[in-house]
Structure 1
Protein backbone atom coordinates (compact mmCIF):
# COMPACT_ATOMS: atom_id res chain seq x y z
CA UNK A 1 0.00 0.00 0.00
CA UNK A 2 2.78 2.44 0.93
CA UNK A 3 4.68 1.63 -2.27
CA UNK A 4 1.59 2.16 -4.39
CA UNK A 5 0.92 5.50 -2.67
CA UNK A 6 4.51 6.56 -3.26
CA UNK A 7 4.30 5.65 -6.96
CA UNK A 8 1.01 7.54 -7.31
CA UNK A 9 2.54 10.60 -5.63
CA UNK A 10 5.50 10.60 -8.01
CA UNK A 11 3.21 10.24 -11.05
CA UNK A 12 1.05 13.16 -9.90
CA UNK A 13 4.10 15.35 -9.32
CA UNK A 14 5.44 14.53 -12.78
CA UNK A 15 2.05 15.31 -14.35
CA UNK A 16 1.94 18.68 -12.59
CA UNK A 17 5.52 19.43 -13.66
CA UNK A 18 4.98 18.69 -17.35
CA UNK A 19 1.43 19.99 -17.69
CA UNK A 20 1.39 23.05 -15.41
CA UNK A 21 4.83 24.18 -14.30
CA UNK A 22 6.81 23.65 -17.51
CA UNK A 23 4.31 25.49 -19.77
CA UNK A 24 4.16 28.34 -17.26
CA UNK A 25 7.96 28.61 -17.12
CA UNK A 26 8.20 28.66 -20.90
CA UNK A 27 6.19 31.88 -20.94
CA UNK A 28 8.46 33.68 -18.48
CA UNK A 29 10.97 36.29 -19.73
CA UNK A 30 14.49 34.97 -20.33
CA UNK A 31 15.95 37.02 -17.46
CA UNK A 32 13.41 35.59 -15.06
CA UNK A 33 14.21 32.07 -16.18
CA UNK A 34 17.93 32.71 -15.78
CA UNK A 35 17.35 34.04 -12.27
CA UNK A 36 15.28 30.99 -11.30
CA UNK A 37 17.89 28.66 -12.78
CA UNK A 38 20.64 30.45 -10.89
CA UNK A 39 18.68 30.13 -7.64
CA UNK A 40 18.33 26.38 -8.22
CA UNK A 41 21.97 25.77 -9.15
CA UNK A 42 23.64 28.16 -6.67
CA UNK A 43 21.14 28.81 -3.91
CA UNK A 44 23.71 30.22 -1.48
CA UNK A 45 25.40 32.25 -4.26
CA UNK A 46 28.81 30.72 -3.69
CA UNK A 47 29.81 31.95 -7.12
CA UNK A 48 29.15 35.60 -6.33
CA UNK A 49 32.61 36.27 -4.85
CA UNK A 50 34.39 33.19 -6.20
CA UNK A 51 36.63 35.11 -8.61
CA UNK A 52 37.28 37.96 -6.19
CA UNK A 53 38.30 35.47 -3.51
CA UNK A 54 40.64 33.68 -5.90
CA UNK A 55 42.38 36.97 -6.78
CA UNK A 56 42.70 38.15 -3.19
CA UNK A 57 46.23 37.67 -1.86
CA UNK A 58 46.86 36.29 1.64
CA UNK A 59 46.96 38.92 4.39
CA UNK A 60 50.29 40.61 4.89
CA UNK A 61 52.22 40.17 8.11
CA UNK A 62 50.52 42.13 10.90
CA UNK A 63 47.64 43.07 8.59
CA UNK A 64 44.38 43.59 10.45
CA UNK A 65 42.16 42.12 7.76
CA UNK A 66 38.45 42.50 8.52
CA UNK A 67 35.58 40.93 6.58
CA UNK A 68 32.18 42.62 6.58
CA UNK A 69 29.73 39.77 6.02
CA UNK A 70 26.04 40.29 5.38
CA UNK A 71 23.21 41.16 3.03
CA UNK A 72 22.37 44.27 0.96
CA UNK A 73 23.09 46.68 3.80
CA UNK A 74 26.66 45.39 3.76
CA UNK A 75 26.97 44.95 -0.02
CA UNK A 76 25.88 48.55 -0.67
CA UNK A 77 28.31 49.92 1.92
CA UNK A 78 31.30 51.58 0.23
CA UNK A 79 33.91 50.48 2.75
CA UNK A 80 36.78 52.25 0.98
CA UNK A 81 34.93 55.55 1.37
CA UNK A 82 34.10 55.17 5.06
CA UNK A 83 37.27 53.31 6.10
CA UNK A 84 40.02 54.69 3.84
CA UNK A 85 43.29 52.78 3.68
CA UNK A 86 41.91 49.99 5.85
CA UNK A 87 42.16 46.32 4.76
CA UNK A 88 38.42 45.80 5.05
CA UNK A 89 36.74 43.37 2.67
CA UNK A 90 33.08 43.49 1.71
CA UNK A 91 31.32 40.14 1.38
CA UNK A 92 27.68 41.22 1.46
CA UNK A 93 25.07 39.87 -0.95
CA UNK A 94 21.72 41.59 -1.37
CA UNK A 95 18.69 39.61 -0.27
CA UNK A 96 20.57 36.93 1.64
CA UNK A 97 19.43 35.21 4.81
CA UNK A 98 21.49 33.63 7.57
CA UNK A 99 20.83 30.21 6.01
CA UNK A 100 22.66 31.22 2.85
CA UNK A 101 25.37 33.04 4.76
CA UNK A 102 26.10 29.98 6.85
CA UNK A 103 26.76 27.96 3.70
CA UNK A 104 29.14 30.51 2.22
CA UNK A 105 30.91 31.40 5.48
CA UNK A 106 33.88 29.14 4.75
CA UNK A 107 34.78 30.42 1.24
CA UNK A 108 33.79 34.04 1.82
CA UNK A 109 35.21 34.50 5.33
CA UNK A 110 37.35 31.68 6.74
CA UNK A 111 39.37 31.18 3.55
CA UNK A 112 40.25 34.89 3.50
CA UNK A 113 41.95 34.57 6.91
CA UNK A 114 40.64 37.73 8.58
CA UNK A 115 41.29 38.58 12.19
CA UNK A 116 37.72 39.79 12.67
CA UNK A 117 34.38 39.28 10.96
CA UNK A 118 31.58 41.86 11.25
CA UNK A 119 28.27 40.07 10.71
CA UNK A 120 25.12 42.01 9.87
CA UNK A 121 22.15 39.84 8.93
CA UNK A 122 18.70 38.68 9.96
CA UNK A 123 16.37 41.23 8.39
CA UNK A 124 15.79 39.08 5.30
CA UNK A 125 15.11 36.05 7.48
CA UNK A 126 12.42 38.03 9.26
CA UNK A 127 10.99 39.08 5.89
CA UNK A 128 10.91 35.42 4.76
CA UNK A 129 13.19 35.80 1.74
CA UNK A 130 14.03 32.10 1.69
CA UNK A 131 10.87 30.86 3.33
CA UNK A 132 9.24 31.27 6.68
CA UNK A 133 11.58 30.64 9.61
CA UNK A 134 11.29 30.93 13.37
CA UNK A 135 13.51 33.10 15.52
CA UNK A 136 15.03 29.93 16.94
CA UNK A 137 16.08 28.85 13.46
CA UNK A 138 17.72 32.22 12.81
CA UNK A 139 19.50 32.01 16.16
CA UNK A 140 20.79 28.52 15.30
CA UNK A 141 22.33 29.89 12.10
CA UNK A 142 24.02 32.71 14.02
CA UNK A 143 25.38 30.24 16.56
CA UNK A 144 26.76 27.94 13.85
CA UNK A 145 28.49 30.85 12.13
CA UNK A 146 30.03 31.97 15.44
CA UNK A 147 31.26 28.46 16.21
CA UNK A 148 32.91 28.19 12.79
CA UNK A 149 34.62 31.53 13.32
CA UNK A 150 35.79 30.66 16.82
CA UNK A 151 37.22 27.33 15.65
CA UNK A 152 39.29 29.26 13.11
CA UNK A 153 40.38 31.92 15.63
CA UNK A 154 38.39 34.71 14.00
CA UNK A 155 36.94 37.28 16.35
CA UNK A 156 33.18 37.67 15.98
CA UNK A 157 31.26 40.93 15.95
CA UNK A 158 27.51 40.47 15.75
CA UNK A 159 25.85 43.69 14.62
CA UNK A 160 22.30 44.36 15.65
CA UNK A 161 19.56 44.22 13.04
CA UNK A 162 18.77 47.77 12.00
CA UNK A 163 15.35 49.28 12.70
CA UNK A 164 12.97 49.98 9.81
CA UNK A 165 10.29 52.59 9.18
CA UNK A 166 7.11 53.14 7.20
CA UNK A 167 7.87 56.74 6.24
CA UNK A 168 8.51 55.98 2.57
CA UNK A 169 6.04 54.60 0.03
CA UNK A 170 6.86 51.07 1.29
CA UNK A 171 5.18 49.80 4.46
CA UNK A 172 8.21 47.91 5.77
CA UNK A 173 6.69 46.94 9.11
CA UNK A 174 4.23 44.58 7.43
CA UNK A 175 7.00 42.16 6.47
CA UNK A 176 9.97 43.32 8.56
CA UNK A 177 8.21 43.01 11.90
CA UNK A 178 9.66 45.42 14.52
CA UNK A 179 8.78 43.00 17.34
CA UNK A 180 10.90 40.28 15.73
CA UNK A 181 13.75 42.71 15.12
CA UNK A 182 13.79 43.65 18.80
CA UNK A 183 13.55 40.03 19.93
CA UNK A 184 16.42 38.96 17.67
CA UNK A 185 18.59 41.84 18.85
CA UNK A 186 17.92 40.94 22.48
CA UNK A 187 19.04 37.39 21.76
CA UNK A 188 22.15 38.56 19.88
CA UNK A 189 23.18 40.75 22.78
CA UNK A 190 22.75 37.90 25.28
CA UNK A 191 24.58 35.44 23.03
CA UNK A 192 27.55 37.78 22.64
CA UNK A 193 27.76 38.27 26.40
CA UNK A 194 27.59 34.55 27.07
CA UNK A 195 30.14 33.57 24.39
CA UNK A 196 32.66 36.42 24.60
CA UNK A 197 31.75 37.98 21.26
CA UNK A 198 31.21 41.67 20.61
CA UNK A 199 27.73 43.09 20.14
CA UNK A 200 27.66 46.07 17.79
CA UNK A 201 24.61 48.15 18.59
CA UNK A 202 23.49 50.06 15.51
CA UNK A 203 19.84 49.69 16.47
CA UNK A 204 19.60 52.03 19.47
CA UNK A 205 21.68 54.70 17.73
CA UNK A 206 19.36 54.91 14.74
CA UNK A 207 15.92 55.00 16.41
CA UNK A 208 13.50 57.89 16.50
CA UNK A 209 10.92 58.66 19.20
CA UNK A 210 8.41 56.32 17.57
CA UNK A 211 10.82 53.40 17.86
CA UNK A 212 11.50 53.32 14.13
CA UNK A 213 14.48 54.05 11.88
CA UNK A 214 15.01 57.79 11.75
CA UNK A 215 13.57 59.15 8.52
CA UNK A 216 16.74 60.93 7.44
CA UNK A 217 18.86 57.77 7.67
CA UNK A 218 17.18 55.79 4.88
CA UNK A 219 15.30 56.70 1.73
CA UNK A 220 13.27 53.49 1.52
CA UNK A 221 12.71 52.71 5.18
CA UNK A 222 15.28 49.90 5.20
CA UNK A 223 18.62 50.55 3.51
CA UNK A 224 20.86 53.20 5.09
CA UNK A 225 21.70 56.23 3.00
CA UNK A 226 24.88 58.26 3.35
CA UNK A 227 23.76 59.69 6.70
CA UNK A 228 22.91 56.20 7.92
CA UNK A 229 26.33 54.82 7.06
CA UNK A 230 27.96 57.89 8.64
CA UNK A 231 26.43 56.82 11.94
CA UNK A 232 27.30 53.16 11.47
CA UNK A 233 30.95 53.61 10.45
CA UNK A 234 32.41 54.91 13.76
CA UNK A 235 30.38 52.37 15.70
CA UNK A 236 31.80 49.58 13.55
CA UNK A 237 35.33 50.96 13.86
CA UNK A 238 35.06 51.08 17.64
CA UNK A 239 33.85 47.47 17.75
CA UNK A 240 36.68 46.37 15.45
CA UNK A 241 39.28 48.04 17.65
CA UNK A 242 37.80 46.28 20.64
CA UNK A 243 37.87 42.94 18.82
CA UNK A 244 41.50 43.36 17.76
CA UNK A 245 42.45 43.86 21.39
CA UNK A 246 41.10 40.41 22.25
CA UNK A 247 43.42 37.43 21.92
CA UNK A 248 41.43 34.35 20.76
CA UNK A 249 43.62 32.01 22.82
CA UNK A 250 43.13 34.14 25.93
CA UNK A 251 39.39 34.15 25.33
CA UNK A 252 39.35 30.35 25.21
CA UNK A 253 41.14 30.20 28.56
CA UNK A 254 38.81 32.79 30.08
CA UNK A 255 35.81 30.89 28.72
CA UNK A 256 37.04 27.71 30.34
CA UNK A 257 37.04 29.53 33.67
CA UNK A 258 33.44 30.60 33.16
CA UNK A 259 34.25 34.31 32.98
CA UNK A 260 32.37 36.57 30.54
CA UNK A 261 32.90 40.13 29.33
Structure 2
Protein backbone atom coordinates (compact mmCIF):
# COMPACT_ATOMS: atom_id res chain seq x y z
CA UNK A 1 0.00 0.00 0.00
CA UNK A 2 1.38 3.38 -0.99
CA UNK A 3 1.70 6.04 1.66
CA UNK A 4 0.01 8.64 -0.54
CA UNK A 5 -3.29 6.91 0.13
CA UNK A 6 -3.28 8.43 3.58
CA UNK A 7 -1.26 11.59 3.01
CA UNK A 8 -2.66 15.07 2.60
CA UNK A 9 -0.57 18.18 3.35
CA UNK A 10 -1.54 19.93 6.58
CA UNK A 11 -0.33 23.37 7.62
CA UNK A 12 1.90 23.47 10.66
CA UNK A 13 0.62 25.52 13.57
CA UNK A 14 3.19 27.62 15.40
CA UNK A 15 2.22 28.75 18.89
CA UNK A 16 4.31 31.02 21.05
CA UNK A 17 5.15 29.58 24.44
CA UNK A 18 4.07 32.86 26.02
CA UNK A 19 0.77 33.17 24.14
CA UNK A 20 -2.33 33.61 26.29
CA UNK A 21 -4.76 32.45 23.59
CA UNK A 22 -6.25 28.97 23.71
CA UNK A 23 -4.31 26.42 21.66
CA UNK A 24 -5.78 25.68 18.26
CA UNK A 25 -6.90 22.09 17.74
CA UNK A 26 -4.67 19.84 15.67
CA UNK A 27 -5.81 17.50 12.92
CA UNK A 28 -8.33 14.81 13.72
CA UNK A 29 -6.91 11.26 13.94
CA UNK A 30 -8.92 10.20 10.88
CA UNK A 31 -7.61 9.39 7.41
CA UNK A 32 -7.94 12.78 5.67
CA UNK A 33 -9.29 11.12 2.52
CA UNK A 34 -12.38 10.08 4.47
CA UNK A 35 -13.32 13.67 5.27
CA UNK A 36 -12.08 15.49 2.14
CA UNK A 37 -14.75 16.91 -0.17
CA UNK A 38 -15.34 14.31 -2.91
CA UNK A 39 -14.64 16.84 -5.65
CA UNK A 40 -11.08 17.30 -4.36
CA UNK A 41 -10.11 13.64 -4.81
CA UNK A 42 -8.23 12.62 -7.92
CA UNK A 43 -8.87 9.44 -9.91
CA UNK A 44 -6.05 7.51 -8.24
CA UNK A 45 -7.34 8.33 -4.76
CA UNK A 46 -10.87 7.33 -5.70
CA UNK A 47 -9.63 4.06 -7.22
CA UNK A 48 -7.62 3.30 -4.09
CA UNK A 49 -10.63 3.92 -1.85
CA UNK A 50 -12.80 1.74 -4.07
CA UNK A 51 -10.24 -1.04 -3.88
CA UNK A 52 -10.15 -0.73 -0.11
CA UNK A 53 -13.94 -0.94 0.14
CA UNK A 54 -14.08 -3.98 -2.16
CA UNK A 55 -12.03 -6.01 0.35
CA UNK A 56 -11.76 -3.88 3.48
CA UNK A 57 -9.90 -6.43 5.67
CA UNK A 58 -7.84 -7.57 2.62
CA UNK A 59 -8.80 -11.21 2.98
CA UNK A 60 -7.56 -11.73 -0.56
CA UNK A 61 -3.95 -10.80 0.20
CA UNK A 62 -2.87 -14.15 1.63
CA UNK A 63 -5.73 -16.43 0.54
CA UNK A 64 -3.69 -18.26 -2.12
CA UNK A 65 -0.57 -18.51 0.04
CA UNK A 66 -2.60 -19.88 2.93
CA UNK A 67 -4.14 -22.54 0.70
CA UNK A 68 -0.67 -23.69 -0.40
CA UNK A 69 0.81 -23.71 3.11
CA UNK A 70 1.20 -27.25 4.43
CA UNK A 71 0.17 -28.03 8.02
CA UNK A 72 2.96 -27.79 10.59
CA UNK A 73 5.16 -30.87 10.68
CA UNK A 74 5.03 -33.02 13.83
CA UNK A 75 6.91 -31.24 16.59
CA UNK A 76 7.21 -28.05 14.55
CA UNK A 77 6.44 -24.79 16.35
CA UNK A 78 5.01 -22.54 13.65
CA UNK A 79 4.80 -18.87 14.58
CA UNK A 80 2.70 -16.30 12.73
CA UNK A 81 3.93 -12.71 12.75
CA UNK A 82 0.76 -10.68 12.43
CA UNK A 83 0.60 -6.96 11.86
CA UNK A 84 0.79 -3.96 9.57
CA UNK A 85 3.55 -2.58 7.31
CA UNK A 86 6.22 -3.02 9.99
CA UNK A 87 5.58 -6.76 9.89
CA UNK A 88 4.80 -6.81 6.15
CA UNK A 89 8.22 -5.37 5.26
CA UNK A 90 10.16 -7.74 7.53
CA UNK A 91 12.15 -9.96 5.19
CA UNK A 92 10.61 -8.31 2.13
CA UNK A 93 12.27 -4.89 2.25
CA UNK A 94 15.78 -4.68 0.88
CA UNK A 95 18.45 -5.56 3.43
CA UNK A 96 16.10 -7.31 5.86
CA UNK A 97 15.90 -11.00 6.71
CA UNK A 98 13.04 -12.88 8.33
CA UNK A 99 14.31 -15.56 10.71
CA UNK A 100 16.12 -17.86 8.27
CA UNK A 101 15.53 -21.54 8.95
CA UNK A 102 12.66 -20.88 11.36
CA UNK A 103 9.09 -22.08 10.68
CA UNK A 104 7.80 -18.53 10.96
CA UNK A 105 5.11 -17.08 8.69
CA UNK A 106 4.68 -13.39 7.82
CA UNK A 107 1.07 -12.22 7.65
CA UNK A 108 1.53 -8.47 7.84
CA UNK A 109 -0.41 -6.06 5.61
CA UNK A 110 0.71 -2.48 5.12
CA UNK A 111 -1.61 0.21 6.44
CA UNK A 112 -3.84 -2.10 8.46
CA UNK A 113 -5.51 -1.29 11.76
CA UNK A 114 -6.48 -3.68 14.55
CA UNK A 115 -10.08 -3.68 13.31
CA UNK A 116 -9.04 -5.04 9.92
CA UNK A 117 -6.70 -7.53 11.54
CA UNK A 118 -9.47 -8.84 13.77
CA UNK A 119 -11.65 -9.63 10.74
CA UNK A 120 -8.93 -11.70 9.05
CA UNK A 121 -7.59 -13.27 12.25
CA UNK A 122 -9.21 -16.66 11.76
CA UNK A 123 -8.12 -16.98 8.13
CA UNK A 124 -4.57 -15.65 8.51
CA UNK A 125 -3.71 -16.93 11.99
CA UNK A 126 -5.93 -19.64 13.48
CA UNK A 127 -6.38 -21.67 10.28
CA UNK A 128 -2.58 -21.84 9.87
CA UNK A 129 -2.37 -23.82 13.13
CA UNK A 130 0.56 -21.97 14.69
CA UNK A 131 1.95 -22.64 18.13
CA UNK A 132 2.20 -18.89 18.73
CA UNK A 133 1.25 -15.55 17.19
CA UNK A 134 3.20 -12.29 17.47
CA UNK A 135 0.75 -9.39 17.19
CA UNK A 136 2.28 -6.01 16.36
CA UNK A 137 -0.41 -3.40 15.68
CA UNK A 138 -2.05 -0.20 16.83
CA UNK A 139 0.02 2.57 15.30
CA UNK A 140 -2.26 2.84 12.26
CA UNK A 141 -5.28 3.04 14.57
CA UNK A 142 -3.66 6.03 16.26
CA UNK A 143 -2.98 7.49 12.80
CA UNK A 144 -6.67 7.12 11.90
CA UNK A 145 -6.06 4.96 8.83
CA UNK A 146 -9.55 3.42 8.87
CA UNK A 147 -11.31 6.17 10.76
CA UNK A 148 -11.44 7.33 14.34
CA UNK A 149 -10.24 4.69 16.82
CA UNK A 150 -10.50 5.47 20.52
CA UNK A 151 -8.19 3.74 23.02
CA UNK A 152 -11.13 1.61 24.12
CA UNK A 153 -11.79 0.49 20.54
CA UNK A 154 -8.15 -0.48 20.04
CA UNK A 155 -8.06 -2.35 23.35
CA UNK A 156 -11.25 -4.24 22.47
CA UNK A 157 -9.68 -5.45 19.22
CA UNK A 158 -6.61 -6.71 21.07
CA UNK A 159 -8.88 -8.43 23.59
CA UNK A 160 -10.79 -10.17 20.81
CA UNK A 161 -7.68 -11.34 18.95
CA UNK A 162 -6.19 -12.64 22.20
CA UNK A 163 -9.38 -14.50 23.10
CA UNK A 164 -9.62 -16.07 19.66
CA UNK A 165 -6.01 -17.23 19.75
CA UNK A 166 -6.12 -18.60 23.27
CA UNK A 167 -9.38 -20.44 22.62
CA UNK A 168 -7.52 -22.22 19.81
CA UNK A 169 -4.57 -23.08 22.05
CA UNK A 170 -2.26 -20.54 20.41
CA UNK A 171 0.28 -18.75 22.60
CA UNK A 172 -0.13 -14.97 22.35
CA UNK A 173 2.73 -12.50 22.15
CA UNK A 174 1.63 -8.86 22.29
CA UNK A 175 4.32 -6.57 20.93
CA UNK A 176 4.68 -2.96 21.95
CA UNK A 177 3.86 -0.31 19.38
CA UNK A 178 7.06 1.15 17.97
CA UNK A 179 7.89 4.73 19.00
CA UNK A 180 7.21 7.64 16.69
CA UNK A 181 6.65 11.37 17.03
CA UNK A 182 4.80 11.86 13.73
CA UNK A 183 3.23 10.03 10.80
CA UNK A 184 4.48 11.17 7.37
CA UNK A 185 1.10 10.35 5.77
CA UNK A 186 -0.91 12.15 8.50
CA UNK A 187 1.31 14.71 10.22
CA UNK A 188 0.55 16.70 13.32
CA UNK A 189 -1.17 14.03 15.44
CA UNK A 190 1.55 14.00 18.13
CA UNK A 191 1.24 10.24 18.72
CA UNK A 192 4.11 9.68 21.17
CA UNK A 193 2.00 9.95 24.32
CA UNK A 194 -0.80 7.81 22.88
CA UNK A 195 1.72 5.11 21.99
CA UNK A 196 3.18 5.10 25.50
CA UNK A 197 -0.32 4.78 26.97
CA UNK A 198 -1.26 1.92 24.63
CA UNK A 199 1.98 0.10 25.41
CA UNK A 200 1.34 0.41 29.14
CA UNK A 201 -2.09 -1.12 28.62
CA UNK A 202 -0.69 -3.91 26.41
CA UNK A 203 1.88 -4.84 29.04
CA UNK A 204 -0.74 -4.94 31.79
CA UNK A 205 -3.25 -6.81 29.65
CA UNK A 206 -0.68 -9.40 28.58
CA UNK A 207 0.10 -10.12 32.21
CA UNK A 208 -3.60 -10.46 33.05
CA UNK A 209 -4.16 -12.96 30.24
CA UNK A 210 -1.07 -15.12 30.65
CA UNK A 211 0.28 -13.75 27.36
CA UNK A 212 3.83 -12.62 26.65
CA UNK A 213 4.67 -8.93 26.29
CA UNK A 214 7.33 -8.14 23.68
CA UNK A 215 9.00 -4.80 24.37
CA UNK A 216 10.41 -3.32 21.18
CA UNK A 217 9.72 0.21 22.39
CA UNK A 218 12.43 0.58 25.02
CA UNK A 219 15.09 -0.80 22.66
CA UNK A 220 14.23 1.66 19.87
CA UNK A 221 13.01 4.89 21.49
CA UNK A 222 15.07 8.09 21.56
CA UNK A 223 14.87 11.07 23.90
CA UNK A 224 12.08 12.66 21.83
CA UNK A 225 9.84 9.60 21.99
CA UNK A 226 10.57 8.55 18.42
CA UNK A 227 13.26 6.59 16.59
CA UNK A 228 16.58 7.83 15.29
CA UNK A 229 16.93 7.92 11.50
CA UNK A 230 19.38 5.01 11.43
CA UNK A 231 16.65 2.83 12.96
CA UNK A 232 13.69 4.29 11.01
CA UNK A 233 14.48 6.61 8.13
CA UNK A 234 10.92 7.99 8.02
CA UNK A 235 10.45 7.87 11.79
CA UNK A 236 7.97 4.97 11.60
CA UNK A 237 9.22 2.02 9.55
CA UNK A 238 12.36 0.21 10.74
CA UNK A 239 15.50 0.10 8.65
CA UNK A 240 17.53 -3.12 8.47
CA UNK A 241 19.35 -1.84 11.57
CA UNK A 242 16.01 -1.47 13.34
CA UNK A 243 14.93 -4.98 12.45
CA UNK A 244 18.30 -6.28 13.61
CA UNK A 245 17.46 -4.96 17.09
CA UNK A 246 13.92 -6.33 16.97
CA UNK A 247 14.74 -9.86 15.81
CA UNK A 248 16.47 -11.20 18.95
CA UNK A 249 13.81 -9.58 21.14
CA UNK A 250 11.12 -11.35 19.14
CA UNK A 251 12.93 -14.66 19.36
CA UNK A 252 13.35 -14.29 23.10
CA UNK A 253 9.61 -13.60 23.46
CA UNK A 254 8.74 -16.61 21.31
CA UNK A 255 10.97 -18.88 23.39
CA UNK A 256 9.32 -17.52 26.54
CA UNK A 257 5.81 -18.00 25.19
CA UNK A 258 6.42 -21.55 24.01
CA UNK A 259 7.85 -22.47 27.42
CA UNK A 260 4.87 -20.98 29.25
CA UNK A 261 1.84 -22.96 30.53
CA UNK A 262 -0.91 -23.75 28.09
CA UNK A 263 -2.50 -20.79 26.30
CA UNK A 264 -5.86 -19.83 27.67
CA UNK A 265 -4.83 -20.24 31.29
CA UNK A 266 -4.83 -16.46 31.78
CA UNK A 267 -7.79 -14.82 33.46
TM-score scaled by structure 2? 0.79
Q: Secondary structure at the match of 1:244?
A: helix
User: Quick one: which of 101, 105, 127 aligns to 2:143?
Assistant: 127
Quote the residue 1:50 is aligned against. 63
Q: Secondary structure at the match of 1:68?
A: strand
User: Quick one: which of 175, 188, 191 aligns to 1:177?
Assistant: 191
Quote the residue 2:225 is aligned against. 211
User: Quick one: which of 68, 72, 82 aligns to 1:59?
Assistant: 72
> Deviations along 1:131-185, whole A, 9 cap, x unmatched?
011101100000000000000000000000000146x9x4977235111000000
**1 or 2 for the larger relative contact order (CA 8 Å, sep ≥6)?**
2
Separation of aligned partners in 1, 2:161 and 2:253: 18
Higher helix share: 1
Q: Secondary structure at the match of 1:238?
A: helix
Quote the residue 1:143 is aligned against. 159
Separation of aligned partners in 2, 1:173 and 1:213: 16
Segments of structure 2 that go 5 or more residues without pairing to the other structure are: 1-36
TM-score scaled by structure 1? 0.81
Aligned length: 228
CA RMSD in angstroms, aligned pairs only: 2.3
Quote the residue 2:249 is aligned against. 235
Separation of aligned partners in 2, 1:241 and 1:163: 24
Which residues of 2 match residues 17-166 of structure 1 at below 5 A? 28-29=42-43, 31-78=44-91, 81-165=97-181
User: Are the aligned partners of 2:138 and 2:177 in contact in 1 as well (CA < 8 Å)?
Assistant: yes
Q: 1:234 to 1:173 in 2, by over 3 A?
A: farther
Quote the residue 1:194 is aligned against. 208
Q: Secondary structure at the match of 1:174?
A: coil
User: Are the aligned partners of 2:226 and 2:235 in contact in 1 as well (CA < 8 Å)?
Assistant: no
Separation of aligned partners in 1, 2:220 and 2:187: 16
Q: Secondary structure at the match of 2:53?
A: helix
User: Are the aligned partners of 1:102 and 1:141 in contact in 2 as well (CA < 8 Å)?
Assistant: yes
User: Are the aligned partners of 2:176 and 2:215 in contact in 1 as well (CA < 8 Å)?
Assistant: yes
Q: Secondary structure at the match of 2:226?
A: coil
